[in-house]
Amino acid sequence: MKCKTHLVALLLVLPALAHAGIREEIMALESAKPGASAPVAAAAPDPVKPSSLMQLPNGRRADMKDYAVVLFMQAHCQYSAKFDPLLKSWADQHNIRVYPYTLDGGGDGSYPNPLIPRKLDPAAPIADEIVTFFGNGLPIATPTAFVVNVNTLKAYPLTQGVMDIPVLESRWASLIQADIDNVDPKTLPPMPASAQVTPQ
């Protein structure tokens, strides 16, 4: 029953996660239709985007369009300030979408306009996104990041605290391989420990 509740909450959250790029995608599709009028002002050409395919250690390739990172951060967290630029640079390099959520209402230099967790029930003590992602017993702390398969809505804990990029890449690859192989997230090894977190 608890798993169903978490899945329902994740299903409610995903449209908000995907909303950021949907408008741009619809505009591009509309402009490509035959007979569509040209835009009033010519937009600057998009910079060349990196390939969305990533080579995994086992030789398989995974499409990063199928995955996203959900990041919980705070404007006033020294560890978010340290980790967020690393994550943003790495995610941009690999064409991976990041959906940042703020726990204190503010953003930072890497994610100046993060999402704010919502309560579908105003009487609920904790916002739905926090329950969805931290409801498995993981302590609420920042920075914390999860890998989410955007097609199946499976979420896997990626990091809690500051993590060096080589360790993050290794963890990312193992989680993507586990997702491709339909491994239960509960059977995966725990995240590497980091003391560089701000608990809530």
Q: What tokens were used for 119?
A: 């309560």
Read off the pTM. 0.72
Q: What pLDDT, on a 0 to 100 scale, did the predictor assign at position 163?
A: 94
pLDDT, one tens digit per residue, over 61-81 is 888 899 999 999 999 999 999
Phi, psi of 24 (to 5 degrees): -65, -40
pLDDT at 147: 94
User: pLDDT tens digits, residue range 172-187?
Assistant: 999 999 999 998 877 8
Asked if omega into 143 is within 30° of 0 (cis), the reply is yes
Please answer whether residues 155 and 135 qualify as being in contact, where contact means their C-beta atoms are separated by less than 8 angstroms: no
CATH entry, 2-33+51-199, from 3.30.70.1560, 3.40.30.10, 3.30.1330.10, 3.30.479.10: 3.40.30.10
pLDDT at 43: 47
Dump the DSSP string for the chain: -HHHHHHHHHHHHHHHHHHHHHHHHHHHHHHHSTTPPPPSSPPPPPPPPPPSEEE-TTS-EEEGGGEEEEEEE-TT-HHHHHHHHHHHHHHHHTT-EEEEEESSS---SS-SS-B----SSTT-SS-HHHHHHHTTS---EESEEEEEETTT--EEEEEES---HHHHHHHHHHHHHHHHTT--GGGSPPPPP-S--EE-
21 vs 170, higher pLDDT: 170
Residues 88, 90, 150, 144: is their CA dihedral positive or negative? negative
What pLDDT digit, counting tens, does each position of 119-160 carry? 888 888 889 999 889 987 889 999 999 999 999 999 999 999
